[in-house]
Structure 1
Amino acid sequence: MTASSTPLPFPILIGDIGGTNARFSILTDAYAEPKQFPNVRTADYETIDEAIQKGVLDKTSVQPRAAILAVAGPIKADEIPLTNCPWVVRPKRMIEGLGLVDVLIVNDFEAQALAIAALSDENRERIGSAAGDMVASRLVLGPGTGLGVGGLVHTQSTWIPVPGEGGHVDLGPRSKRDYEIFPHIETIEGRISAEQILCGRGIVNLYRAICAADGATPTMSDPADITSHALVGSDKAAVETVSLFATYLGRVAGDMALVFMARGGVYLSGGISQKILPALRKPEFRAAFEDKAPHSALLRTIPTYVVTHPLAALAGLSSYARMPANFGVSTDGRRWRA
């Protein structure tokens, strides 16, 4: 049964459920520091309920009364399948089996958006010369298992996270080199979405397309190998892969900044953004971000950052759990009570 947006009862289980990893903490009250637990690999457990029981509840004497879980996928009805993982979230079953009385499910990039409302300088690195902490709408993009996009709109002294599936917008060629490479990009039903390139498997997709365009044989199939070789300059195709990855990420980030009028800044989250920081510091990302005629002057004023906080989504959810009145989070159809 869905509930209104009254505060959840403490202790609260906080969870960030991605396609590959799930991260958990428990917030005992509004003033406590969250108790962290080791990351859980989604492939190691058949269900999310099993992962929570074995990965969290069996390792602590604190029994959560409520849970706020951020999941990678659209939230529908009482069964929520995850986009890049075989788990299905069933809040009613969680209440029955895990001893919870209140469960709120939000989109994973809604949680990332909550995190960037008040991210300190030590938890972010600015890319480019545009600076400022304007209290204005913000945007977060996270290339990882997929490509997540979330907005954070500021209005009437409230931060309102805007979830969506922006990672699935079309991404097309612009340069001469793009037109050589794009015919070799693996498509989904004939189209190339941003996520076909701007995620872990997308790095492999792009690398293979570059090799095909040059008549070369690909020698790597792991995105980590490709990025590692690129950053040390030991493989020409890998170097171009990461350079173009940064360019295309800049293009999509600029597009989304225009959609949200994100004068408060654009934030790149996730492990890939952190790993390829040396490439993002080069001119390609920022040049592609700003190349939005007739609005290039506007884009030049918008700061861009890489989120370096290791558990940004959990931090965002914890902020909401402590002070829900500060955020305009809709709970309609996304909250279940015993």
Structure 2
Amino acid sequence: MQQDHLVADVGGTNIRIAIAYKSELNHIETYKCAEFSSLEAAINHYIEQNQLTVNKACICIAGAVNDEEIKMTNMDWRFSAHSIEKRCAINKVHLINDYHAIAMSLPHLSSTQLITMSKRKGQAHAPKMVCGPGTGLGIAQLVPIGEQYHCISGEGGHIAFAPTTEQQMHVLAYLFGQHKRVSIERLLSGQGIVNIYQALAAQASQHPQPFDAKDITDAFINQADTLCVESVTLFLEILAQFLGDLVLMNGAFGGVYISGGIMPRIIEHVDLEQFNQCYTHKGRFKEYVDQAPLYLITEPQPGLIGAAAYLYQSID
């Protein structure tokens, strides 16, 4: 009997499940998490629906992953690798963080799954970084070791915001009035765009509209509101300089990749020349950062691809 390898990407709202053969995905299904009482129930539904016998699985989770029981933040799901193995009759289950999975996908993404944002070529056997402003700010590093890759992940989105201009200092002062500590995620996320908008409105002595991130980015795309345009422009400036900081910290000459839901929506309206100038604006180390190419991930399922890559690397 054929035994399949299963991969899954578990978010706060949806769960995506597929069968993997190396980097090829088959039978991709998306379910609403709320429709199932547990993660195991969702996986068993998929297995029964596709009449599978699963040997190994890799499941990436939007949240912290450890060797103990995992509790999802936005729903009443508790599970562990052992509970999934037992209740879903799977021989071996790997649980990894979602940005661990996205990092593992990077060597497997082709030019059709990316937008090249710079003219730099980068180095083939060098570290890569992924940074994803979305609901939060995920960050991970991928390091080549021989013929395999090792992911170094953490909570880089929660390092302190370091302003470099007077305008950015004003935004920091505004946010410092609301938070005991201002992390970079307070600016580089959906809520971060709203925070920037409100800070600039206060600076201009304007009453801010009750906009969310989509309202502000839509107004930026359509050039419909000056304050929204200024807010997204500043968001892009801060993002670019932060990506350059990642290169300084990690020597990511294999490339810096942007993921998350914000940038794909606005990329056609981004001034890439200005973005790259902010990215490499590092004084004496401009040429150092200028060695690292920039990419935007457009592939809709990098988590599943990365989970498959992790699974097959563990098999090898």
Find 2:245's aligned residue among 230, 255, 272. Answer: 255
* Residues 294 and 215 of structure 1: CA distance in aligned 2, closer, same or farther (over 3 Å): same
Q: Say if 1:115 and 1:313, in contact at 8 Å, map to a contact too.
A: yes
Residue type of the partner of 1:224?
A: K
Partner of 1:35: 27
Please state whether the residue corresponding to 2:201 is helix, strand or coil: helix
* Residues 88 and 245 of structure 1: CA distance in aligned 2, closer, same or farther (over 3 Å): farther
Alpha-carbon offset, residue 85 of structure 1: 6.5
Partner of 1:49: 40
Q: Could you list the runs of 5+ residues in structure 1 that have no partner in the other structure?
A: 1-8, 327-338
Tell me the distance in 2 between the aligned counterparts of 1:36 and 1:205: 36
After superposition, the C-alpha distances for 1:289-321 in whole angstroms (9 at most, x for unaligned) are 111222111111211000111111211222333
Q: Say if 1:73 and 1:108, in contact at 8 Å, map to a contact too.
A: yes
Please state whether the residue corresponding to 1:34 is helix, strand or coil: strand
Q: Say if 2:7 and 2:308, in contact at 8 Å, map to a contact too.
A: yes
Find 2:272's aligned residue among 270, 276, 282. Answer: 282
Q: Say if 1:123 and 1:307, in contact at 8 Å, map to a contact too.
A: yes
Q: Say if 2:104 and 2:310, in contact at 8 Å, map to a contact too.
A: yes
Q: Say if 1:243 and 1:284, in contact at 8 Å, map to a contact too.
A: no
Alpha-carbon offset, residue 222 of structure 1: 2.4
Find 2:145's aligned residue among 125, 131, 155. Answer: 155
After superposition, the C-alpha distances for 1:175-201 in whole angstroms (9 at most, x for unaligned) are 111122222227785111111111122
Tell me the distance in 2 between the aligned counterparts of 1:57 and 1:149: 32
Find 1:169's aligned residue among 149, 159, 167. Answer: 159
Find 2:308's aligned residue among 318, 323, 336. Answer: 318
Q: Say if 2:120 and 2:293, in contact at 8 Å, map to a contact too.
A: yes
Find 1:24's aligned residue among 11, 17, 39. Answer: 17
Q: Percent identity?
A: 29
Q: Say if 1:117 and 1:152, in contact at 8 Å, map to a contact too.
A: no
Tell me the distance in 1 between the aligned counterparts of 2:128 and 2:22: 25
CA RMSD of aligned residues (A): 2.6
Alpha-carbon offset, residue 10 of structure 1: 4.2
1:200-219 aligned at under 5 Å gives the runs 200-219=190-209
Aligned length: 315
* Residues 159 and 76 of structure 1: CA distance in aligned 2, closer, same or farther (over 3 Å): closer
After superposition, the C-alpha distances for 1:49-77 in whole angstroms (9 at most, x for unaligned) are 344345x3453222433321111222223
Q: Does 1:115 align with 2:108?
A: no
Residue type of the partner of 1:206?
A: I
Partner of 1:266: 256
Residue type of the partner of 1:48?
A: L
* Residues 79 and 187 of structure 1: CA distance in aligned 2, closer, same or farther (over 3 Å): farther
Larger deviation: 296-305 or 61-70?
A: 61-70
Tell me the distance in 2 between the aligned counterparts of 1:19 and 1:200: 15
Residue type of the partner of 1:37?
A: E
Q: Say if 1:112 and 1:140, in contact at 8 Å, map to a contact too.
A: yes
Please state whether the residue corresponding to 2:121 is helix, strand or coil: coil
Q: Say if 2:257 and 2:295, in contact at 8 Å, map to a contact too.
A: yes
Alpha-carbon offset, residue 209 of structure 1: 2.0
Partner of 1:129: 119
Tell me the distance in 2 between the aligned counterparts of 1:266 and 1:47: 36
Query: TM-score normalised to the size of structure 2?
Result: 0.89
Find 2:8's aligned residue among 9, 15, 30. Answer: 15
Tell me the distance in 2 between the aligned counterparts of 1:262 and 1:70: 23
Q: Say if 1:48 and 1:89, in contact at 8 Å, map to a contact too.
A: yes
